Structure 1
């Protein structure tokens, strides 16, 4: 009988905490990580607008923004598609509502981001402890690694750290055991961001 794959927060929270506590940024990735964090810090006020509107920590939004569209404010937070139309890639057809300023302008980054975050019900989250955030972030990207390649910790979180070396999806549903993610994962970004922005993460919404 195959082992049951654990995906619930209750089951995985201790694992995320252990991974976080033992996580170290690879020396050759530190400079790149710091450069990304500097860009995030420069746009902090824009992310804080969303925190004020839907009560999702600004840095949580920022790290998703980097993973999905390399901090590009002309692309959907859902998946990096253009804001000129609804999303084409998964999740497709988002946002459901028409752009506030009309189709000639397209969606603002803020209205798209609010849709991306609320469709995952992040606005309802009460526990913003670090391991819970890591679980929510992996859930946002999908649990494909845990389901089908549990031998590899998702690079979405761990690329650029001692917890990841190789193995990734090179396209939707297409796995390459030798491919290496060149992105800086969320854990590495948070390690630097928490320190530099003096963020105090607790059970409630963390505001630096």
Structure 2
């Protein structure tokens, strides 16, 4: 029961909103975040195609794409594996269907991305408020930090900001308290995207 309470969206919404409100990009990480956002913006039409097909916000897809495969359109959105065959790393064996253009060509990024997003049921999400998105994104990567190392906020969201310094999983189930994520986390990217792409994401009002 404790874990269910710990992982509930309704229980965690105020926490995500407070973290977002107090989140600041570290000055030495800002340029990197801006460069990534520039690449995301250049490919916005491609992400918007998925939004039109499965009703998942284009920027939500884009930040996952950056975290999982550094915006490489030649890899699976699930985990960055090559599109030439089904995924090898977790989740393995995806997509289940064969590539529409045959194995010599491999999967298109779009058909793989739709699979990655729909197996997580993002196409059924009704709450796209900012704290709810942060919750969904943390769950996409895994809740190991929250469950087993609550002293460290997940770098998947907070790396590159004042909310993260060190500590990370360096491999599946392998924790290193001194390792430092060199990625720019999703919160930093969203901070820049909201400003530069003029996004209007609903936020929750948190009372003390």
The within-5 A match list for 1:142-181 is: 142-181=142-181
The within-5 A match list for 1:67-78 is: 67-78=67-78
Gap regions ≥5 residues in structure 1: 204-208
The within-5 A match list for 1:117-128 is: 117-128=117-128
Aligned to 2:132: 132
Partners in 2 of 1:202 and 1:192 — Cα distance? 16
CA RMSD of aligned residues (A): 1.0
Aligned to 2:2: 4
Structure 1 segments (4+ residues) deviating >6 Å = none
Partners in 2 of 1:195 and 1:116 — Cα distance? 28
Give the CA deviation at 1:191: 0.1
> Could you list the per-position Cα deviations for residues 64-95 of structure 1 after superposition, in whole angstroms to 9, with x for gaps in the alignment?
00000000000000000000000000000000
Aligned to 2:206: none
What is the TM-score normalised by the length of structure 2?
Answer: 0.95
Give the CA deviation at 1:202: 2.6
Partners in 2 of 1:85 and 1:13 — Cα distance? 38
Gap regions ≥5 residues in structure 2: 204-208
Count of aligned positions: 201
Partners in 2 of 1:202 and 1:124 — Cα distance? 18
Partners in 2 of 1:196 and 1:111 — Cα distance? 28
Aligned to 1:42: 42
Partners in 2 of 1:142 and 1:4 — Cα distance? 17
> Could you list the per-position Cα deviations for residues 162-199 of structure 1 after superposition, in whole angstroms to 9, with x for gaps in the alignment?
00000000011100000000000000000000110001
> Could you list the per-position Cα deviations for residues 22-52 of structure 1 after superposition, in whole angstroms to 9, with x for gaps in the alignment?
0000000000000000000000000000000
